[in-house]
Amino acid sequence: MAGKSLSRGADPRVLVERPLPQDGRLRVHDSAPSHPARKARLARSVTVNLAESPLSWLHARGHITARHFDAGEALRRDYELSQLAPRTTMQWDAPPTSKIARAAPAVLSPSEAQLAAKRRFDDAMQVLGSGLDDIAWRVLCAGEGLKGAEKEMGWPSRSGKVVLVLALDRLASHYRLPD
């Protein structure tokens, strides 16, 4: 995900949100001058799962349907299986044990599975078209947040979710997911 530097010892999961009158505890502004008339406000802390994808975040909060979520996960799975992302380390797969072919494999070899996934990914991106493939790749495959994707593409705030839902609808139809 987008890397924000955290100070040493700070818990990256605790954030402070805007105050809510019905929830939270009273906190005194740290920046207020030290005098009796300091203003106090209610605040609450939340836990953030840094490993959560933007798609699962949207689904968990009811912004997209289960069908949209499944379509986005199908595209991400094809992207991951096709190994299109750049490697950051060497490949630690076990070497072949024997050069003698014993029998025809019952399933696809790793290379065949990779090629099949690449073909499915390319087909899905072609179905999305040039208007929807960028937001789909950024959010679903690269794990970029909607706010960051909107900023990078020069879109207005909150427009990314609308376009992403259109892309997810098209993907769901492409993957033939039930309504």
Q: Residues 137-153: what's their mean pLDDT? A: 93
pLDDT at 6: 47
Residue 13 has pLDDT above 90, yes or no: no
**pTM passes above 0.85:** no
Could you report the per-residue pLDDT of 63-118, keeping only the tens digit for each? 999 999 999 999 999 999 898 877 677 666 666 565 555 555 567 788 888 899 99
The residue with greater pLDDT, 18 or 142, is 142
Rounded-to-integer distance, Cα 134 and Cα 144, Å: 11
pLDDT over 50 (residue 5): no
Query: Does residue 9 have a pLDDT over 80?
Result: no
Q: What is the pLDDT of residues 26-48, one digit of tens each?
A: 555 555 455 555 555 556 666 66
Residue 179 CB neighbour total at 10 angstroms: 6
One-letter amino acid at 175 equals Y
Those residues with Cβ within 8 angstroms of residue 23's Cβ, 6 or more apart along the chain or in another chain: 42, 44
String of b and e for 2-18 (b: at least 16 CB within 10 Å)?
eeeeeeeeeeeeeeeee
- Return the pLDDT at 11: 54
CA dist list (Å): 34 to 16, 18, 28, 38: 22, 23, 10, 7
What pLDDT score does 76 carry? 94
Please report the pLDDT score of residue 1 as a whole number: 43
Report which of residues 85 and 165 the model is more confident about.
Answer: 165
Contacts of 3 (CB under 8 A, 6+ apart): none
Q: What is the mean pLDDT of residues 46-69?
A: 86
Q: Name the band, by pLDDT with cuts 50, 70 and 90, for residue 119.
A: very high
Indicate the average pLDDT of the chain. 78
Looking at residue 41, its pLDDT comes to 57
Backbone angles phi, psi at 27, to 5 degrees: -130, 145
**Residue 100 or residue 55, greater confidence:** 55
